[in-house]
Structure 1
Amino acid sequence: MIIDGTNKPAGAADKDPLLVGLGQRVKLLRARRGIPRRVLAEAADVSERHLANLESGIGNVSVLVLQQVAQALGCSLAELLGDETTSSPEWLMIRKLLQGRSQTDLHTAHRALADIFLEGSNAGQRNERIAFIGLRGAGKSTLGQMVAARLNRPFIELRAEITRLAGCGPMEIQALYGSNAYRRYERQALEETLQNHKSCVIATAGGIVSEPGTLDILLRHCLTIWLQAEPEDHMDRVIAQGDAQALHKSGRREAIDDLRLILESRAAFYAKADFSYNTSGKTLEEAFAGLMSAIAAHQPMIVA
């Protein structure tokens, strides 16, 4: 039985709303970055059980532990607590200006700020590059290669570019240097790809949306397509690729539940793509034909 700071049993009925919200925030940030709980616990120098309690909203947690978790996640303590917009008068004024606005208004504001602070490219240049985003197993690599061949454009697997830059694979990068280092290599790989290829098709890793700055670059320089699939299809395809580690040690159901959580944490970012296409329930040939039709409907000049 877990006892909290008040010496009362911590059950579902008496969970503190603040602790529950904090736990959900930690879990979503961890899922968005694709970091297993065990890895985050090691990076934060806390026990995996203590981290599990934090994510579950039970027990109490010190500010120092929260700071360690925030550092391991590569975010500020304010962001971990859910509010990073209190650091300056400018942040507060911007937040007040945007508070209560519709999603359409927020999108307009974001594009205006991006035009001010980010190097952009025109619509014609964007259409010369197609980038696929989405969870692993959606078909980014397989369909990406087929689209590249049809359009006679180079196909770029961003994970391969990351490996080339780092001298080791993504798993080794994260194990040796941490997820933040991996995200830096990922951004560098994307920037070099955009610099070296005026026309190409790019397959990104599922977690590229974890770093908003990298996602901004992708959206501004590429026609971006979110490839979707049902969680069960994601799992079956990854296993078919020979990755038995995709199965959760507690079973298939837990692994699919993890996928759903990752998708939940990233869905709003994936939705920033120009459009989405669902590959579930289709043969490879049907998925490819449907995808090409969707690209043609969105940008006829690409397949003309």
Structure 2
Amino acid sequence: MVKKSTIGSVEDDRDPVLVALGIRVRELRKASGLSVREFATAAGMSHAYVVTIEAGAANFSISVLGKIANILGVSIASFFEVTTPTGNAFDPVLSKMAAELRQIRQELQSRGDTIGTILEEIEARLEKPKEGPSGDKSKKSDGH
């Protein structure tokens, strides 16, 4: 029985092993410079099947994994040798969370840039001295 996990508020029925393999296939495919379509064509698979594998939603055979390894020029063992920069065993849930957090950070940085620009414009307007009716940069005259 596959343990269900919850990511965010969405329940995830995918097998963590297949998710880890899918992530690793995607990493190796991207490292090889192949698009999903190019990879699918080279492997004799449909684009949709490759996407399903990379999403961790396809329970594929070891022979398919062998074909994938051959196309990518790696050994089958390389799919299971993944470690993090700290040397810890690869954790697909942490990897997914890290990817989502990177995306959120990029979105926040983009919004932060916009907010920063608006704030700079407001501050610039607040710092401008108000000109009186005679053109001097003193207090605004009320007509007296």
TM-score (norm 2): 0.48
Higher Cα Rg, which structure:
2
Instruction: Write 1 or 2 for the structure with the bigger share of helix.
Output: 1
TM-score (norm 1): 0.24
